[in-house]
Amino acid sequence: MGWIIFIVATLGWHIGLYGMFKKAGIEPWKALVPFYNTWCMVQKMELKKYWFFLQLIPVAGQFITIWITIKFVEHFGRFGFWHHAATVFVPFAYFPYLGYSKNERYAGRDVVKNYKKSTLREWIDAAAFAIVAATIIRTFVFEAYVIPTSSMEKTLLVNDYLFVSKFAYGPRIPNTPIAMPFMHHTIPGINTKSYLEWVHIPYTRWFASPVKRNDVVVFNFPGGDTLTVERDSEEPYYDLVQANGRENVWNTYTIKTRPVDKRENYVKRCVGVAGDIIKLVDGQLYVNGKPSEFTNTTSYCKVITKNLMLEEDMLKSKGIHVNMSENEKGAVDFIPQSSTVFMINLSHTEEALIKTIPGVDSVIRQPYNVGPIYPTCYGEKNFGWTAQNFGGDNGLWIPKKGASIPLTPDNIALYRRVIRVYEENEVEEVGGKILINGKEATSYTFKMDYYWMMGDNRHKSQDSRFWGFVPEDHIVGKASLIWFSWEGGPRWKRIFRWIN
Full DSSP string of 265-315: EEEEEEEE-TT-EEEEETTEEEETTEE-SS---EEEEEEEESS----HHHH
Domain range summary for the chain, segments of one domain joined by +: 2-116
pTM given for the model = 0.76
**Most confident stretch, 30-44, 48-62, 149-163, 165-179:** 30-44
Question: Is pLDDT at 382 greater than 70 in this prediction?
Answer: yes
Local confidence band at 156 (pLDDT 50, 70, 90 cut-offs)? confident
The tens digit of pLDDT for each residue in 205-263 reads 988 899 999 999 999 999 999 999 888 888 889 989 988 999 999 999 999 999 999 99
- What are the C-alpha distances in Å from 140 to residues 2, 59, 132, 322? 21, 7, 12, 35
The tens digit of pLDDT for each residue in 335-360 reads 888 888 998 888 888 889 999 999 99
Phi and psi (nearest 5°) for 267?
Answer: -130, 125
- Compute the CA torsion angle 150, 152, 158, 159 (nearest 10 deg): -150
What is the Cα–Cα distance from 416 to 425, expressed in whole angstroms?
9
How do beta strands 216-220 and 265-272 pair?
A: antiparallel
The tens digit of pLDDT for each residue in 284-308 reads 899 999 998 766 567 778 899 988 8
Full DSSP string of 366-411: -----S--TTGGGT-------SSSBSTTT-EEPP-TT-EEE--TTT
Structural contact between residues 473 and 203, judged by C-beta atoms closer than 8 angstroms: yes
Full DSSP string of 13-78: HHHHHHHHHHHHTS-GGGGGSTTHHHHHHHHHHT--THHHHHTTSTTHHHHHHHHHHHHHHHTTT-
Smallest Cα–Cα separation from 198: which of 424, 13, 422, 5?
5
Provide the pLDDT for residue 331: 54
Provide the pLDDT for residue 58: 62
Full DSSP string of 426-457: -EEEETTEEEETTEE-SEEE-SS-EEEEE-SS
Instruction: List the beta bridge partners of residue 103.
Output: none
Q: Read off the amino acid at residue 451.
A: Y
- Start-to-end CA distance of the chain, whole Å, equals 43
Phi and psi (nearest 5°) for 387?
Answer: -65, -20
Q: Read off the amino acid at residue 381.
A: K
SS3 417: helix
What is the Cα–Cα distance from 130 to 101, expressed in whole angstroms?
33
Nearest-Å Rg of the Cα atoms of the chain is 28
The larger pLDDT score, comparing residue 488 to residue 194, is at: 194
